[in-house]
Structure 1
Amino acid sequence: MVKKVVTDLDLKDKKVLVRADFNVPMKDGEITNDNRIQAALPTIQYVIEQGGKVILFSHLGKVKTEDDKADKTLRPIAERLSELLGKEVTFVPETRGKELEDTIASLKNGEVLLVENTRFEDIDGKKESKNDAELGKYWASLGDVFVNDAFGTAHRAHASNVGIASNLESAAGFLMDKEIKFIGGAVDEPQRPFVAILGGAKVSDKIGVIENLLDKADKVLIGGGMTYTFYAAKGIEIGTSLVEEDKIELAKTLLEKGGDKLILPIDTKTTHEFSNDGVIEVHEGVIPSDQMGLDIGPKTIELFTKELQGAKTVVWNGPMGVFEMTNFANGTIGVCEAIANLTEATTIIGGGDSAAAAMELGFADQFTHISTGGGASLEYLEGKELPGVSSISNK
């Protein structure tokens, strides 16, 4: 079903509850990367322009004890958001109660309020994370309509997304709508040829994604640490490379199912230890017994670049090697460049480490869409129904 978008709602004079994803990295009380806050701005600004009152909800990390509260407060988020919006953001250091209710009641059109970390409700019985019905109903009572713009939590049924949506008319924010259109559209109605590139360390993390994309894509290119479990399934010696012994039989099944559609690396960049400083070699096929593969090799970069030529839809999830080490970043850089050069294709990064890699390597502007959700993106690529999406009102 097609979901309502924030533009479908009448927002003037309304108290608009917005679930944003402000789960940003912090160090010593300082935000180290504000990309997720920046990504929420279009929806917040739209509500302001339409004369609504913005009441923001978000979690930040996991909160298990009272001691966790000190470094998990959203106060720094409110301060940064205020700078980005160029207007005051009222912060309420509570998740319920009279102070919160009175402050919301006093809001004027176009004003913005941020509620304290929703996970503070998890200290006593995981009420947020377990979608406590009473909590969802209470939060919903604070507003007139609900906008869910937090794709990063869409794969979880929490009180602050599904719980509120169960009690109010709801719509997707602009960010959520983009995720639904790009990732959902790529998997369900791709322009062809459709090429998927999957990396990362473990086959076990990507089983559902590989299986689903083997059904949907025209080609599936495999890189990263999971390569070596597939190599082992083919009887290729992998030295001391990462391998999931208990997934070798599964890898054999996937190789059979994929046939010519499933494409593995043809050479590997290796070293003797998990370090950026060791002697580097490149091997085709067999990896020596005292070496480990940490990146795809130059011939594989050429092969993958060739396989991408002419693609109309590309989805990439997972780096090709240990890109954090400069000597083993070439595979990820090569794939980034190859995708970035596809000017007539819809190119999508499915969150997580590959999104971080593209941003870090300076390729962010050259992709059609970079997902903000790691786990949510993976589950969407698997073809799973996401509770945070399905709970949004249908048009």
Structure 2
Amino acid sequence: MTLDVAQLCAQLIRFDTTNRGGGESAGEREAADHVAAVLHDAGVAPTLLEPAPRRTNVLARVPGTDPSLPAVLVHAHLDVVPADPAEWSFDPFGGEIRDGFVHGRGAVDMKDMVAMTLAVVHRWHTEGRRPRRDVVLAFVADEEDQGAHGAHWLVEHHAAHFAGVRAAISESGGFSFDVGTASGDTVRLYPVGTAERGTSHLRLTATGRAGHGSRRNDSNAVTALVTTLARLAAHDHPVRLTPTAEAFLVGAGKALGVEVDLDDVDATIARLGPAAKLVENTVRCSTTPTVLQAGYKVNVIPGTATAQVDVRTLPGTVDELVATVDALLEPGVTREFLEHQPPVEAPIDTPWFTAMADALRDEDPRATVVPYCLGGGTDAKAFSRLGIDCYGFAPLLLPAGYDYRAMAHGVDERVPVSGLEFGARVLDRFLSS
């Protein structure tokens, strides 16, 4: 008897695995125990590892029929971001299945992928099937913070578990994205993540001379800081066209019948219509001020002021971007990295990408598969350190009017049941072959 993927997803949502960051977390233990039990029932021996109390990771390996082939890794995180019940129209951790959707925090980020993977592994066991190559599984903690209790810890302390792995798949790719054309047709794109921008969060500290607010002060830390932030926010970062972004523009442009001019990327993106959302944030680096801290009384000029800046870098641009930031700092303002994870990019012209595209087209003949770059970050940044090519491939077929990109970290998160069933079939095709 095979397991129902929607029920699996709902069960996982009912475990509150909220990660508030900074080490404050409900913990992944109960969800991890549940995953381990499902794997055990599917004839797979799980290993549970906790770098800290309740911060639980589940590792397993499904042996393939040809051990000489390189293995593939499926990794998915068990933690979720906070959800304020007062903002939701249903219980964020109720795991309701109604109106064709599974409702709750983590439905698309990313307990859906956990459920689809478990459903596939259990189906193999029920039907007496095995994949061609070893399939390594990692259901991890702490992705929604910095991975110190999850993927990064596993890479540093349990790298042997990933021996022989050549490629990996995880979140933020393989979902359908319907785009209308000028001729009235609808093109169904499936962006598969082959790159993601780097995360270089900065703390800026301005140091000046404290004093009375009514008096002239040419060494005002607040003024120096806000001047720097204004420069960073207004800076026009140049276009840096990575292989992934170029392939997306060419592929999507051809499918949509629009002119592609790689010498004028902004104009090309403007012609893509709704599909522009998939690429507009990933042709440039970005420096976005997000946190400000200064002063304690309105008539006192503080001696120091600090800010945090969300910095995202494209492959091959890290040194250039850091030099740009340094050039925009006011005198008296210094920077330090709070987090510095470099961008990653996997090759497109590989059997792995071809197999993903084939699996999608087998289940949806209308599929137009294109590579794309993630604007944010995932645990790929950890596993790529082991020389693994990491792809965003958590397939879903989505209904018209469903805003997938608004679901992750959003209010009233939900995932279509039919999309989960489609995704499980696609994963089965890809992982089996």
The TM-score, its normalising length taken from structure 1, stands at 0.26
The structure showing larger relative contact order (alpha-carbon pairs under 8 Å, at least 6 residues apart) is 2
Comparing both structures, which one devotes a greater share of its residues to strand? 2
Comparing both structures, which one devotes a greater share of its residues to helix? 1
The TM-score, its normalising length taken from structure 2, stands at 0.24
